[in-house]
Amino acid sequence: MPHQCTSCGRTFPDGSKEMLSGCPDCGGNKFQFKPRGRTEPDDPAGRTEPDDPADRSGDQDDQAESVSTGPVSQESTPTKPNAGGTESDIPKRKQPDNRSTAQQSAERTEARSTASGRSTRNKGVSEDVPAREPESTPEATSDAQREEPTAQGTDPTVRESDSTARESDSTARESDPSTHRSTDSATDTEQVGGREHEDTAQASARTDVVTPDELDRASQPVATQDTDDPDADSGERPDIEELRDELNEQFESIRIVSPGKYELNLMELYDRQEYIISLQEDGRYVIEMPDAWGIDGE
Amino acid sequence: MGLLTNLRDSISRVTDGLFAADEPKRIGIYGPPNAGKTTLANRIARDWTGDAVGPESHIPHETRRARRKENVAIERNGRKVNIDIVDTPGVTTKVDYKEFLEHDIDKEDAVRRSREATEGVAEAMHWLREDVDGVIYVLDSTTDPFTQVNTMLIGIIESQNLPVLILANKTDLPESDVKQIANAFPQHETIPLSALEGENMDEVYTKIAEYFG
């Protein structure tokens, strides 16, 4: 939950664009891009799916990935009439965003299929996501694609117990790569088990409605939550540069090279009219809504 | 004073509106930093309304918020054209506070200016998309016009089908090379001028009336 309104404290999952037109609760336009592992789970239950994991894991990868525009944004942004500039356009317009969705997941899948051990996989993804716990993603992705829509929110209890089970697995995982490998499949099995109400036919039907990409994105956080327990805490907190990178990947029209130095993507600024981001040195940033912009008379 | 000014503007807008056939067109003055946009905006505003638009400066990014002068009525050949002039911050792809340090501005202020300038560019791009009916594109004729910013902005303007008038400013300087500007954008007419000295403003007004009337 890296984004938090500095006025009312409301938090937003990574990749969310809900706050890009101001905080829905208090109308504030100052937010804090919170380093991982620092947020409190005070989010309303309604849209917590992505928050929770981000919180708990504080996984950097999580943040970088949800750049892919995040699940929530998909559902929550429609408030913006001109959101045409945001959700749907993003993939086709922005190379990086593109990467973060389809391409990244492709990468992940690739990494997963080729890599047999954790370290290999780590390499596979690490150029994008340096400090992350690699193992989570591949599983996450697959989890996501299969499990997300139905499992999500329908049966929290099942999920709870799932994750508990996995936690207990974690020691084994840590110690032995082969066990770890099998945990992967175990996880898969678990998912299937936990999703007893979706059979192959259902899954196939669902696929017609929800694109794999959407699924992928929607599910990442949860998946991460499932898998990253053992290593998440050991990750380092990202420094301001990393935060910038992450934010810039998400919003990207203005790159803050260092305090007082900016690089501007004019096309992006032109295309994406809803907001600009000013990331401050302390991780805070301001969202400017065009509505608030005015031309000074004389 | 702002209130009075606004009031006066409102009144003049209403009275003008009685006689003007059309709503004023909103004309954005765009271009890279330090091309002389504000000098031109002030020149136009002073010539036709008696008021200035904003402070001019040699320091780049002096204009960090778009400023507008409404209802500038330009008469040409018996024809009256009403425009709202929007002076925009100079558009650039990089803003560095160090630029300001060269102008005796302390670091803290320079960083602030830098941030404001960045936001100003974002704003200018936003206005370009939504809020202008035509563009006066001002270039410094002493510098090379083949830049990413110029190409991109002119491209955007063309893609929007906005009428655009390209002005080669600073003809009072010996290094001025109007031809270079004209060659860079052969698809558009280039008007030379010195906004500072008021050179060739007659032609500029004629073209404004022609392009935006």
User: Considering the domain boundaries, does residue B85 fall inside one?
Assistant: yes
Distance from CA of B67 to the nearest CA of A (A): 5
Q: How many domains does chain B have?
A: 1
CA distance A88 to chain B (A): 19
Residues 249-268 in A contacting B (C-alpha not used; CB under 8 Å): 253-254, 259-267
Over the stretch B83-131, which tens digit does the pLDDT of each residue have?
Answer: 999 999 999 999 999 989 989 899 999 998 988 888 888 888 888 888 8
CATH number at residue B33: 3.40.50.300
- Position A77 scores a pLDDT of 35
| Min Cα separation A257/chain B (Å) | 9
* pLDDT of amino acid A184: 41
pLDDT, position A134:
39
Higher pLDDT, B208 or A5: B208
Q: Do A261 and B114 touch (CB under 8 A)?
A: yes
Is the pLDDT assigned to residue B135 strictly greater than 90?
yes
- Residue B60 counted as domain residue: yes
Of B86, B111, B125, Cβ closest to residue A260: B111
Give the type of residue at B11: I
Is B62 inside a domain boundary? Answer: yes
Please say whether the beta carbons of A40 and A100 come within 8 A. no
Q: Which two tokens stand for residue A218?
A: 């929607």
Burial class (CB in 10 A: 0-12, 13-18, 19+), B41: buried
Q: Is B95–A261 a contact, with Cβ atoms under 8 angstroms apart?
A: yes
Tell me what ipTM this predicted complex has. Answer: 0.81
Q: Judge: A264–B122 Cβ closer than 8 Å, yes or no.
A: yes
Continuous segment of H or E residues that includes residue B73: strand B67-76
List chain A residues with pLDDT less than 50. 38-196, 198, 203-235, 292-293, 295-298
Give the whole-angstrom CA distance, residue A292 versus residue A282.
24
Report yes or no on B7 lying in a domain. no
Whether B16 is in a domain gets the answer: no
Q: Which of B51, B92, B115 sits opposite A298 (nearest CB)?
A: B51
Residue B65: domain span: 25-212
State the helix-helix crossing angle for B201-212 and B37-49, rounded to 10 degrees: 90
More confident residue, A80 or B199: B199
For residue B135, which phi and psi values (nearest 5 degrees)?
-130, 135
The reply to whether B107 falls in a domain is: yes
Look at residue B154 and tell me if it is in a domain: yes
Give the pLDDT confidence of B28-80 residue by residue, as tens digits: 999 999 999 999 999 999 999 988 888 888 888 888 888 888 989 999 888 88
The pLDDT value recorded for residue A214 is 40
SS3 letters across chain A? CCEEECCCCCEECCCCCCCECECCCCCCCEEEECCCCCCCCCCCHHHCCCHHHHHHHCCHHHHHHHCCCCHHHHHHHHHCHHHHHCCCHHHHHCHHHHHHHHHHHHHHHHHHHHCCCHHHHHHHHHCCCCCCCCCHHHHHHHHHHHHHHHHCCCCHHHHHHHHHHHHHHHHHHHHCHHHHHHHHHHHHHHHHHHCCCCCHHHHHHHHHHCCHHHHHHHHHHHHHHHHCHHHHCCCCCCCHHHHHHHHHHHCCCEEEEECCEEEECHHHHHHCCCCCEEECCCCEEEECCHHHCCCEEC
Beta-carbon contacts of residue B16 (< 8 Å; ≥ 6 apart): B71, B73, B82
Indicate the average pLDDT of chain B: 88
pLDDT 10s digits, A188-204 = 433 433 344 545 555 44
pLDDT of residue A277: 59
Tokens of B45: 């505003």
| pLDDT over threshold 90, residue B177 | yes
- Tokens 């340090």 correspond to B101
The verdict on a CB contact (< 8 Å) between A298 and B93 is: no
Q: Which residues of B touch A263 (CB under 8 A)?
A: 93-94
Query: What pLDDT, on the 0 to 100 scale, is given for residue A163?
Result: 41
Quote the pLDDT of residue B66. 82
Query: CA A42, A287, A239: angle at the middle one, nearest 5?
Result: 70
Residue B5: band (very low, low, confident or very high) from pLDDT cuts 50, 70, 90: low
- Please tell me the predicted confidence (pLDDT) of residue A283: 63
Give the minimum alpha-carbon distance from A235 to chain B in angstroms, rounded to a whole number.
32
- For position A262, what pLDDT does the model report? 84
Q: Give the pLDDT of residue B12.
A: 54
Mutate to test the interface with A, among B72, B115, B131 (most CBs of A within 10 A): B115
A277: which chain B residues are within 8 Å (Cβ-Cβ)?
none
- Which residues of A fall within a CB distance of 8 Å from B52? 298
Question: Cα-flanking dihedrals φ and ψ of residue A104, to 5°?
Answer: -60, -45
* Contact list, B48 vs chain A (CB under 8 Å): none
Assess if residue B165 is contained within a domain: yes
- Which residues of chain B make contact with A295, given a CB cutoff of 8 A? 65-68, 86, 127
For residue A294, give the chain B residue with the closest CA. B66
Helix (H, G, I), strand (E, B) or coil at B26: strand
